[in-house]
A and B are shown apart, each in its own frame.
Chain A
Amino acid sequence: MTRGRRRFTSWSVVLLAGCAGRQSALDPAGPAAASIHRLGVWMYVGATLVVLLVTVLAVMPFLRPRERPVNRRLFLWGGGVALPFLTLTALVPYVMTVGHGTRAATAPGRLSVDVTGSLYWWEMSYRRTDGAPSAISANELRLPAGEPVELFLRANDVIHSFWVPSLAGKTDMIPGRVNRMVIQGDRPGIYRGQCAEYCGRQHAHMAFDVIVMPRAEFDAWLARLARPVREPATPQLRAGRELFVDLGCGACHAVRGLTEGRRGPDLTQVGARRSIGAGTLPGDVGNIAGWIASAQHLKPGNAMPSYDQLAGPQLRALAAYLESLR
């Protein structure tokens, strides 16, 4: 490799690193986001040229005063009409070919997920092809790599918008309507989605993780999700489970095989999640305890009350039990 090429490569690495991120449209990991990004690059180039042209034309008269009158026809017909007309004639048909994949039909047998937005959290419900009831999870979407997955988007209360910039554009979730989109992640990895339609006080804390995994791992995970949780193994975990039931957590939260509440996030695999409170805190046992004790302090206005009356050991037991659910 020559020195110039090496320099170029290192520069592009820096540039790419600048764009990378698990929530970046500039670092696409799926076909929809990639085709939109390609369209974007063309438009960035064209836009830069237009802005440069206008800037030069605006500044030149001050640098070199002219004696001849201006060629009006060139400016009005050439710049005013022909330039935008030709640019757009080239652009519009191209635009219309991009992004149709997110609305295309998927083959029968492909995975479908019902995603429902509620005030500041998400429910993901995976339809089973074998006729079994859907397997429900929350604030985390898992996808088999390289496959189109059909999403049915609904809202429980106000309008939300489903957006995973690394994979595709956004689609609104509107009460009374069901919107459909197809999403695909090609590179296994962890991405992040966030509500893109202002939905109230904690709109900023309505995020979810998207985990793209190889098909086999995904199948194993989905089977696990559908099964009831295991019996607690230690006395502390058993105490935690008792507390969970006694405190009435089950009125809002489902734990497969134990409780069936649907008003709050399903907790069957809460211990395996990367975050707590729909992206408010990283998911670990300490943060689970913190969330239980002071949810209203951490995310004011969300539906979860702060259980600040619990004694230390109780809180630790409850958090440990939840953390064990994976």
Chain B
Amino acid sequence: MTAPFDDTVTTRPPARAPDAAPRHLRQSEGPDGDERLRVAWAKPRRFGLLTEVNNTVVGVLYIATGFLFFLGAGVLALLMRVQLAVPGNTFLGAGTYNQLFTMHGTVMMFLCAVPIVEAVAVLLLPNMLGARDMPFPRLSAFGYWCYAFGGVLVFSSLFFGVAPDGGWFMYPPLSSSTYSPGLNTEFWILGLGFVEISAVAAAVELIVGILRTRAPGMTLGRMPIFAWYMLVTAGMIMIGMPMVIAADVLLELERAFGMPFYDATRGGDPVLWQHLFWLFGHPEVYIIFLPAAGMVSMILPTFTRTRLVGYAWVALAAISVGFLSFGLWVHHMYATGLPLLSLSFFSAASTAIAIPMGVQVFAWLATLWDGKPVLRVPLLFVLGFLIIFVIGGVTGVMVAAVPYDWQVHDSYFVVAHFHYVLIGGMVFPLFAALYYWSPLVTHRMLSERLGRWAFWLMFVGFNAAFLPMHFTGLRGMPRRVYTYAGDLGWNGLNLVSSVFSFVFAAGVLVVVYDFVRHLRTGAKAGHDPWNAPSLEWLSGLAPHGFRSLVPVTSRYPLWEQQELPGDIVAGRGYLPDAPTRERETLVSTPVGGVPEQILRLPGPGWTAFGAALATAVVFTAMTLRLAAVGVVAGVAATAAILSWLWSMDRALPREPADAGRGTVLPLYSAGSSSVGWWGMAVCLISDAAVVASFMFAYLFLWTARPALWPPAWAPLPGFIEPAAIAAATVGAWLLFELAERRNRRDHRLATALCLVASALFAGGALVMGWRWLDGAGLSATGHSYGAAVWLLLGYIALHLAMGIAMALWCLARLALGMIDSWRCLTLRICLLWWRFTVPAAVLTVALVAGFPHVVA
């Protein structure tokens, strides 16, 4: 095996600058280079928090916001524990209690756990990887602001008494407009749609960042293990989140327009929601856990003074957890009456995940045994994590056993189980990370003494609150009950849980106090207070991070490359200057980490904040059914996003630039080596997951209602119209291909004509599709069959419309001279869209036109 895990792979020597009269932008290693870097990366003087897009600012804001939501949702939990302390309590009413538990779960999962783990990656990864920023800084800022606005929208509903109250997994038909007519569910759907979009945005950023903006010489096998974990996590988000977005879209279509996907009285099936939700919901647990495991794997070597035992094992374990997690969703549905045979399959698959989990746990244990562990606060939290998480793991094996789950499912046993997994698997590592990485941001140390107090309060409080819940559940207490009778043997157990939940909270409070205190009076930390092995400790986490980017030849560069700090500070690495006088970072090859381009990055600006704000107003207006405001804000949001898009693919110097160390690199790349192309490709993977989810919905509804599906009154589709639609779509794509070919030779007129023709073909496909559906007399609201057909074809129509918009977009830029044979990234990216749309459209049309004939 050569590449990823082989330490001996050396970097290919980058192209050397020719000696004679080079035509490229020069740069300087000297003090003026440093000065120009500082100017390029200077933070904006005013409104810095709103306009700065650098990861060191956005990451901190992101984490702080997530932590506030953590505290808020924690308070909700304490209120619930007060209510449940004694039987028949009247502290909270049923309606309030139901809002509280729904919001506790929703906020913890969507507004705290996922954003925080992504935020830690946004803050730390570029510095760990030896880059100066994420590849799309404005996208991360946009994602952050979407999340902040969406989160506040969802959370504020509590204060108006209209918070979601259908449970965090919102099962229809309880969440349908019949049984939840109020705004409560709207807040959940729209607010979370917003948050999910921001999660996907951060994931695109992380994938491209990890694969394309690593330090020179950092092969995949030399990446810090955290990068492996985040790569898997981001990949899972890209595939998992679209499924729940798809489920949300169907729910909102049913609520707002009466399309009956989940309504059993009109051919829908509530179980469809459960499949789509848990197809996301189960990976979600690992989306939260894997980054935390990555943090643990970074912290352990520092405090044991040894390399992580089994780096390749751990990376492979993370990857296999990522894959397996998508095969387990049914273990949330054991009680729905599925056939025993399929349950057995999912039961075996569910327990199989114990193996990669076991590998990780024993790799960590072996690391402890291999080194000389120093018990500082971060390591203490890691130990707490290990013990609590393993308890959550073994109860996880129990609930994966089908018959056992029939007893404990939806009881307090499960409540105990997933709190062990999530608090053990995520909260404890996160507090370890807080104590470990805070000095990097605040340049001060948190208190060792207070940290120990916090740990023991949290550890004892947590176990004493949640261990009894296993028994409460086995003794028959279902979850999500706002009160209980006093004669069922649950009183003592509940009282203990309630009391110790406050002990746990006290521990969190100590951390909050310590954090606030340390900002002013904490001991000053040097640049590397723990003597850690990874690159982020050399960045000082300044806006421009590294003075220069030095080749990495080891997985633990700070331990094993003695000359590294000196070289970085002396500017002897790559990019010791800002040749374009703007923010830049290196793009390197995905596997070998060979530098191949200088990426010019956007600096501070209102684009991301403005676009997010306008989008937030759109979502709020939709939630509150304020049509006029929605239209105005919709126009504003579209304008903001279009102007943002217009500013991309900028005019850049065509000559290559001096990247330092005698290397000359291009500033622009239009093909598959550019980060923009990669970003689009990753987004299309998500889009494919949405298309697949919709197709799954169509096919699932047929299997759920084979007798009624497709309904006898629905005419069988013909073959001529769908064939014509598919042909027009393929034609539109081929013409776009042709346009791109013509453009390579700068045949501007031919390019323009091909673009126009492509748009016309796509428009033709749209018109034919509309006439076909309309002519078939298929109602979207009468029966789930019509709804599913409209959904599938509607989504493809959206793609064709986007294709038309892209053709016009390219046409405009072509006319303004912003596209030519050299500067053609926009055209290539739009082509990528078509290359995805055509197979998606052909498959969809074939399914809709052919499937009814197959089953009829």
Contact = CB atoms under 8 A, between A and B. Distances in A.
A78 B362 CA distance: 9
B264 A175 contact: yes
Interface in A192-222: 192, 194-204
Return the 7 tightest CB-CB contacts between A and B, nearest first: A169-B406, A176-B264, A99-B403, A23-B476, A80-B359, A79-B362, A179-B337
A311 interface: no
A95 interface: yes
B394 A50 contact: yes
Contacts of A58: 365, 368, 383, 386-387
Interface residues of B, number: 83
Contacts of A174: 264, 270-271, 336-337
Interface in B253-278: 264-265, 268-271
Interface in B146-175: 165-167, 171, 173-174
B93 A300 contact: yes
Interface stretch (A68-76, A108-116, A254-262): A68-76
Interface stretch (A32-40, A136-144, A234-242, A283-291): A32-40
Given A172-B336, A202-B94, A159 B366 contact: no
Nearest to B313: A76
A301 B95 contact: yes
Interface of A: 18-26, 32-33, 35-36, 39-40, 43, 46-47, 50-51, 54-55, 57-62, 65-66, 69-70, 72, 75-76, 78-81, 83-85, 87-88, 91-92, 95-96, 98-100, 102-103, 153, 157-159, 161, 163, 165-166, 168-172, 174-177, 179-180, 192, 194-204, 279, 300-301
B407 A33 contact: yes
Given A83-B358, A95-B402, A203-B481, 10 more contacts: A43-B397, A84-B355, A158-B171, A163-B478, A169-B407, A170-B406, A179-B336, A197-B410, A198-B166, A201-B94
Given A25-B407, A54-B387, A58-B365, A88 B359 contact: no
A283 to B, nearest CB: 13
Nearest to B383: A58
Nearest to A202: B94
A76 B406 contact: no
B407 A170 contact: yes
B510 interface: no
B724 interface: no
B344 interface: yes
B361 interface: yes
B358 A95 contact: no
A202 B98 CA distance: 9
B375 interface: yes
A133 to B, nearest CB: 25
Contact of A165 (B167, B344, B363, B476): B476
A42 B32 CA distance: 71
A22 B74 CA distance: 33
A190 to B, nearest CB: 12
A81 B355 contact: yes
A192 B337 CA distance: 22
A70 B348 CA distance: 32
A165 B372 contact: no
A196 B336 CA distance: 12
Contact of B309 (A47, A59, A75, A96): A75
Nearest to A281: B485
Nearest to A56: B365
Contacts of B407: 25, 33, 36, 40, 165, 169-170
Nearest to B393: A50
A199 B411 contact: no
Contacts of A199: 174
Nearest to B273: A159
Pick from A24, A172, A200 the residue with the most CB of B within 10 Å: A172
Interface in B476-496: 476, 478-485, 488-489
Contact of A201 (B95, B357, B369): B95
Contact of A51 (B265, B372, B390, B474): B390
B369 A61 contact: yes
Nearest to A78: B362
A84 to B, nearest CB: 4
B358 A21 contact: no
A192 B489 CA distance: 13
B489 A36 contact: no
Given A54-B361, A84-B354, A91-B351, A24 B366 contact: no
A55 B387 contact: yes
A231 B265 CA distance: 41
Contacts of B479: 198
A80 B474 contact: no
A87 B401 CA distance: 13
Nearest to A160: B174
B124 to A, nearest CB: 25
B331 interface: no
B644 interface: no
Given A51-B390, A55-B387, A197-B410, A98 B403 contact: yes
Contacts of B71: none
Nearest to A94: B401
B94 to A, nearest CB: 5
Given A65-B372, A99-B403, A196 B363 contact: no
B354 A100 contact: no
A55 B365 CA distance: 10
Contacts of B480: 198, 203-204
B309 A72 contact: yes
Q: Choose among B98, B354, B407 the residue with the greatest number of A CB atoms under 10 Å from its CB.
A: B407
B701 to A, nearest CB: 11
B478 A169 contact: no
A161 B410 CA distance: 9
A84 B353 CA distance: 9
A85 to B, nearest CB: 6
A2 to B, nearest CB: 31
A19 B475 contact: yes
Given A84-B354, A176-B264, A204-B484, A192 B476 contact: yes
A176 B383 CA distance: 49
Nearest to A67: B372
B355 A196 contact: no
B179 interface: yes
Contacts of B371: 61
B832 interface: no
Nearest to A75: B366
Contacts of B269: 176-177
Contacts of A159: 171, 173-174, 270
B370 A69 contact: yes
Nearest to A179: B337
Nearest to A163: B478
A75 B362 contact: yes
Interface in B382-432: 383, 386-387, 390-391, 394-395, 397-398, 401-411
Contacts of B179: 157-158, 200
Nearest to B482: A204
A18 B404 CA distance: 20
28 contacts: A19-B474, A22-B488, A43-B401, A47-B398, A54-B387, A58-B386, A61-B368, A70-B369, A75-B363, A80-B361, A88-B355, A95-B404, A96-B347, A103-B340, A165-B474, A169-B406, A176-B270, A197-B335, A198-B410, A200-B98, A201-B94, A201-B165, A203-B478, A203-B481, A204-B94, A204-B481, A204-B482, A279-B485
A203 B361 CA distance: 39
A68 to B, nearest CB: 10
B476 to A, nearest CB: 3
Contact of B352 (A78, A88, A198): A88
Nearest to A180: B337
B363 A76 contact: yes
Contacts of A50: 390, 394
Interface string B544-558: 000000000000000
Contacts of A54: 361, 365, 386-387, 390
Nearest to B268: A176
